Every structure is written in C-alpha cells, then in structure tokens.
Amino acid sequence: MSVLVFIETNEGEIKSSSLEAVCYAKSINENVVAIMAGEASSKELDILGKYGVTKVFYNESEALANDSQGLAEFIFSGVEKEGADLIIIARSSLADSIAPKLAIKAKASIATNVVDLPSSQSPLTVKRGVFTGKAFATVSLPEGRKVLTLAKNAVGLKESPSSCSSEKLGFSEVASPKVKRLSVEKATGSILLPEADKVVSAGRGLKGPENWEMIEELANTLGAATACSKPVSDMEWRPHHEHVGQTGIKVSPSLYIAIGISGAIQHLAGVNSSKTIVVINKDAEAPFFKSADYGIVGDAFEVVPKLTEAIKRVV
Amino acid sequence: MNILVCITHVPDTTTKIKFVDGKELDKNGVQFVIGPYDDYALARAVELKESLGAKVTVLNVGKQETEPTIRKALAIGADEAIRIDAEPSDAIFVAHQIAHIAKQNSYDLILMGRESSDYNGGLVHGMVGEMLGWPSVSPCMKLDLEGTNAKMQKEIEGGKELLEATLPLVAGCQEPIAEWKIPNMRGIMSARTKPLNVVEAISVEGAISYNSFDLPPERSSCKFFEVDQVDDLVNALKEEAKVL
C-alpha cells in the first residue's frame, strides 16, 4: 500500500491540520509520501520529517497556489507517479474544492469529513460526521483507489522522526484556468476558525457589535479564534465566516466557550464535536447548559472580563 | 438560458436525529424539506429567471416519497422537474446521475447546495463539474451573470474570494446568495400540473457503503460555577479537562 498526503500551507507555514493528516496516514502505513504546492525548503523538510514523511513532491509555481483545478491535477500526477492507493487530505475550503475533482480524476471512491482512525483496513472502514454534526456514520470504501478528507482533530499529532527527501514534480500549466481569482479579502494574522484549537463564540446576549471587544480580548488571551451564532451574522454584527452552526462552520476545537448563546439545536450541530464546552449565559434555563461540560449562570458583561483576568493569571 | 437546480430531500433542520437499530434513519415524525443550502440555490435560480429570463429545471435523486419536496420546488418557481428513481446512496452515484442528465440537455448553469444536510459529503458539485469538464465553485455566496460571464464570491477561511468564470458552470450555493422563497398560492396551484418526469438511474461503480450510524456521546452533566468562582472554572479547565 502507498499513501499520499496533501500538505497545505497558510501564510508560508505548513498547516497543523495537514500534519494531522500525516499522522493519520502514518497510522495506516509506515511509508508516507506528501505533496505540496510551494517551496520545499529545509524548513518544510524538517517539519514533515519530524512527523514521519519520507518524501515530498513539490512545485513552487505561483499558478498552483489556491487553484483547486490545477491542484487536483497536480496531486493526481503525484498519485500516478507514486502509485498511491490512498490519498489523505485535511479539510479546508481549498481541500473541499480539490477533493471531488481529484476523486473523479483518480477514479477513486471517497469519504469526506472523517473523524476517527479507520476501524478496519480491509475494507477500509471509517467514521464520518453526518446529519450536519448531529450523528456519525460508519462507512466502508470499495476496493481500489481511495480518498479521505479529515475533520480537524480526527487524530492527535504524534512525532515519528524520519528523514524527508524532496522531489520536484512538473505539471502542465493551464494557460487560462477555468476559474479566475479576481481578488481575495482575508483576515491576516488571526487564527482561522475551522482550524482553531480554542474558540470563543458569542451570541445575541452581547446586545450589539460594539461589545465584541471583551470577546476578542478573551480570545487573544486564550490564543483562540472568535466565532458567533447565526442571528449575530444575520444581523451583520460579525462577518459571515464566523458563523458556527448547522448552516455555518462546523468546529471541533478542544475548548469551545459560548457566551450569550442560548444553544438552539442548529447551533449545537456545529459545535458538538468540541472536546470541552463552557457556557456562560444569564438564563439558567438556556438549553446550551444541557450540552455543556462547565457553566456559569451570569451576566456576560460581568463574567467575561473576570474570566479573562483569571486566565491571564494561569497561562 | 437553462438552469438545472439539484435538490435533496432531507429532515428539517430542527429534527432530533434518531436511528432504527443504528442502521437507518428513524423517519417517524420527521418532516422532510428541500435541503437548506439547495433552497438557496433554487431561490437564486428563480431570481435569475425573473431578472434575465430562464427555464429552471429541478432534479432530485430519490424514490417516490420525495415528490412532495419536488412539487414544493415547482411551487417556488421551477418550471419542470426530473426525479431519478433511486436512493441517493453516495456522492459518486448522485454525481453520475446528474452528469448523465446534463449531457442530454444544454444547461448553462447547474446550481445546488454546498452540501446536503443529511450526508454532508459536499462533493457532488465538484464531481459533476469534473465529469462535464466545467468549472465548479463552492461554497458560492454570490453569483451574478453578465452574458456568459459569471462573477462569484466564494467563502474561504477568514474571508472571501471574488472569482470569475465563463458559463456553463456548476456552483454549490450557500447564504447569502439569495433570500429563501416561500411558495404562494398561485405557485402551489400551478405546481400540480407542471411536468415531473421520472427517469431510471444509470448504474455506477465506486460508491461507498453505509454500515451503521451512531449519535455523539452524551455529555456528562454540566458542572456549574458561581460568577465569583471563575478561578475555580479556570482551574477545572486546566487540571480536569486539560485544555489550557
């Protein structure tokens, strides 16, 4: 068996979710080959080697970055070159666009949003999130080439040092890509919500967008991403890409702190893969407390600054 | 212009999901609706029909039980419907059915939700695009047409991209691409007589199989702290939950 892992970078750094994908691959097969768009310098080789990658295909062409069509073709050439049976990709907005194109190109079966290590190798059997976070399904993939896309935290990071070599892989540059990127608006430097290990989320209980400062301060103290409930994004208090829930982003951080969010079933669907949930709400009857590990019944404007100070004392 | 809108038939978003023996969805008392993301795709198609003029065909892969959902899409403003008579067992299966229909017709635009709210594969739009050799964009938050030029906004982590492509194309839609439409009485009446063609499915290899389902583990009861006990909460997060 041969396993190929797609490595994604953000602002020049290999994403930790891609390293999780490496660890996932390592648990299935001793030999793990990776493929990335961008420069594979000694910095990248060191990190990939630390988690057990033995070889990385790369191409630093600018034309590849962020083009899902081009990347699907590039990864497929790596699949053919390596004779890979299994391709593992950590979920992201880019990966979600690459995966279906790659599956068709590679004539592979595919399971997306996988949340745990395989329960069987033959047939490959994995657990994936379904019903928008409300349930899990155990699925088997047929014989032949396979693609898996992984949810955040599907597996923990584990070092497994080996020496990693690099090999430049050519690709045929498409003269005019089918989809042209005209511009990008992206928050830089902030922690990206879908990949965040900690999330501080707030809802209508905050009363208005001007009150988010204390949420941001708590998030900064924790090194957390900020998020919000659907009503908050609908009212445009916060940008749409912060909306967590059934029709928004699904998160699976180790810590989710919900402030002034009642906990409607649609919101819970987006967060119930979180490891630990803390709920702060002045309404003791808020349904969210039933899905929480820790709770404080109290006014957010009083509790949040105190909590921020308390965290500053220990971290 | 011809627009194909692919819809799913899924439990209402407020449904408490349960399974029969962990093998299949307990449909008892479950209200089925057009997939919430598909509803945005349909609404955008109807808006484009109203502003630019278009014929809107809605397609569903499902057994006869999905017909009330398809009729609702007709009531919202689609002109005709196709039901592929099969269980939508897997993304590859569904994508092949859609591509097969698309090859026999001349659609300019294929719209659907970014993912179904039951199996959440999020794959069908990209697969159909690949099978047809068309561009595909998802999740698409905005779609404006000028002739055969489409300008789209795609959501990415922490922001959005402005994209451009030429028709024909496939888009997986999400809010705020359009406002959901509620069928009016005239729409509901006319939907009864709009054509709904039932087509046999083609056979497809490579589908994954669903063995069993389970629910997320219940959380043990919530541990409460008083407002002046935030230090104890922080301590619990550190020592007990080990997340700090």
Query: Are residues A135 and A200 located together in one domain of the fold?
Result: no
pLDDT one-digit tens code per residue, A74-103: 999 999 999 999 999 999 999 999 999 999
Query: Are residues A292 and A197 located together in one domain of the fold?
Result: yes
How far apart CA A70 and CA A75 sit, in angstroms, is 9
Does A176 reside within a domain?
no
Structure tokens at A30: 């001793």
A-B C-beta contacts closer than 8 Å: 262
- Using the structure block, give the residue that is written with the tokens 């070159």: A81
> DSSP code of A194?
G
Of B16, B119, B234, the CB nearest to A314: B234
Task: Say if residue A177's pLDDT is above 80.
Answer: no
Name the burial class of residue B59, with classes exposed (0-12), middle (13-18) and buried (19+) by CB atoms within 10 angstroms of its CB: buried
CATH number at residue A206: 3.40.50.1220
Half-sphere exposure of B56 (CA within 13 A, CB side): 28
- Mean pLDDT for A151-155 is 88
B111 alpha carbon, distance to own chain's centre: 9
How far apart CA A242 and CA B6 sit, in angstroms, is 27
Distance from CA of A92 to the nearest CA of B (A): 8
Q: How many domains in chain A?
A: 2
How far apart CA A274 and CA A180 sit, in angstroms, is 36
CATH number at residue A71: 3.40.50.620
Contact list, B30 vs chain A (CB under 8 Å): none
pLDDT given for residue B122 in this prediction: 96
* Beta carbons of B237 and A276 less than 8 Å apart: yes
pLDDT given for residue A174 in this prediction: 63
pLDDT one-digit tens code per residue, B67-76: 999 999 999 9
Residue B239: which residues within 8 A CB-CB, separation 6 or more?
Answer: none
Query: Are residues A119 and A256 located together in one domain of the fold?
Result: no
Distance from CA of B198 to the nearest CA of A (A): 26
Does A181 reside within a domain?
no
* Beta carbons of A130 and B120 less than 8 Å apart: yes
- Using the structure block, give the residue that is written with the tokens 């220990």: A314
Task: Say if residue A162's pLDDT is above 80.
Answer: yes
Contact list, B226 vs chain A (CB under 8 Å): 296, 298
pLDDT one-digit tens code per residue, A275-315: 999 999 999 999 999 999 999 999 999 999 999 999 999 87
pLDDT given for residue A176 in this prediction: 65
Distance from CA of A275 to the nearest CA of B (A): 9
Query: Are residues A145 and A240 located together in one domain of the fold?
Result: no
pLDDT given for residue B147 in this prediction: 93
* Beta carbons of A277 and B219 less than 8 Å apart: yes
Contact list, B160 vs chain A (CB under 8 Å): 184-186, 241
Q: What is the mean pLDDT of chain A?
A: 92
Name the burial class of residue B85, with classes exposed (0-12), middle (13-18) and buried (19+) by CB atoms within 10 angstroms of its CB: middle
Query: Are residues A31 and A120 located together in one domain of the fold?
Result: yes
> DSSP code of A244?
B
pLDDT band, residue A273 (cuts 50/70/90)? confident
Residue B160: which residues within 8 A CB-CB, separation 6 or more?
Answer: A184, A185, A186, A241, B141, B153, B154
How far apart CA A9 and CA A64 sit, in angstroms, is 12
**Which homologous superfamily is B2-215 in?**
HUPs (3.40.50.620)
Does A186 reside within a domain?
no
Among residues A147, A130, A160, which one has the least CA distance to residue A84?
A: A147
DSSP reduced 3-state for A79: helix
Contact list, A142 vs chain B (CB under 8 Å): 205-209
Among residues B34, B45, B44, which one has the least CA distance to residue B4?
A: B45
Half-sphere exposure of A77 (CA within 13 A, CB side): 17
Structure tokens at A270: 């987006």
- Using the structure block, give the residue that is written with the tokens 């630390």: A50
pLDDT band, residue A12 (cuts 50/70/90)? confident
* φ/ψ of residue A122, rounded to 5: -140, 105
Element (H, E) at B2: strand B2-6
pLDDT band, residue A189 (cuts 50/70/90)? low
Does A232 reside within a domain?
yes
Does A59 reside within a domain?
yes
How does pLDDT run along chain B (244 residues), one tens digit per residue? 999 999 999 999 888 899 999 999 999 999 999 999 999 999 999 999 999 999 999 999 999 999 999 999 999 999 999 999 999 999 999 999 999 999 999 999 999 999 999 999 999 999 999 999 999 999 999 999 999 999 999 999 888 999 999 999 999 999 889 988 999 999 999 999 999 999 999 999 889 999 999 998 878 789 999 999 999 999 999 999 999 8
In contact, B180 and B191? CB cutoff 8 Å: no
Contact list, B8 vs chain A (CB under 8 Å): none
Of B91, B141, B243, the CB nearest to A275: B243
Pairing of β A198-202 and β A255-259: parallel
* Beta carbons of B123 and A194 less than 8 Å apart: no
Residue A96: which residues within 8 A CB-CB, separation 6 or more?
Answer: A112, A149, B122, B138
Q: Residue B199: beta bridge partners?
A: B84
Q: Which residue of B has its CA nearest to A137?
A: B213
In contact, A269 and A133? CB cutoff 8 Å: yes
Does A180 reside within a domain?
no
Residue B224: which residues within 8 A CB-CB, separation 6 or more?
Answer: A289, A294, A295, A296, A297
Query: Are residues A12 and A129 located together in one domain of the fold?
Result: yes
Does A295 reside within a domain?
yes
* Beta carbons of B117 and A255 less than 8 Å apart: no
* Beta carbons of B207 and A109 less than 8 Å apart: yes
pLDDT band, residue A175 (cuts 50/70/90)? low
- Using the structure block, give the residue that is written with the tokens 């699907």: A72
Contact list, B154 vs chain A (CB under 8 Å): 93
Distance from CA of B154 to the nearest CA of A (A): 9
Round to the nearest angstrom and report the end-to-end CA distance of chain B. Answer: 56
Structure tokens at B68: 């009330």
Contact list, B176 vs chain A (CB under 8 Å): 240
In contact, A228 and A243? CB cutoff 8 Å: yes
* Beta carbons of B13 and A131 less than 8 Å apart: no
**Range scoring the smallest mean pLDDT among A104-108, A176-180, A198-202, B73-77:** A176-180
Among residues B162, B169, B184, B62, which one has the least CA distance to residue B119?
A: B62
Query: Are residues A153 and A199 located together in one domain of the fold?
Result: no
* Beta carbons of A100 and B127 less than 8 Å apart: yes
Of B16, B119, B163, the CB nearest to A181: B163
Q: Note down the domain range covering A224.
A: 193-314
Q: Which residue of A has its CA nearest to B138?
A: A97
Among residues A181, A123, A217, A272, which one has the least CA distance to residue B162?
A: A181
Distance from CA of B129 to the nearest CA of A (A): 8
pLDDT given for residue A173 in this prediction: 67
Q: Which residue of B has its CA nearest to A230?
A: B175
Q: Which residue type occupies A39?
A: E
pLDDT one-digit tens code per residue, A32-74: 999 999 889 999 999 999 999 999 999 988 888 888 999 999 9
pLDDT one-digit tens code per residue, A112-149: 999 999 999 999 999 999 998 889 999 999 999 999 99
Query: Are residues A156 and A203 located together in one domain of the fold?
Result: no
* Beta carbons of B165 and A179 less than 8 Å apart: yes
- Mean pLDDT for A253-262 is 96
* Beta carbons of A132 and B120 less than 8 Å apart: yes
How far apart CA A259 and CA B182 sit, in angstroms, is 33
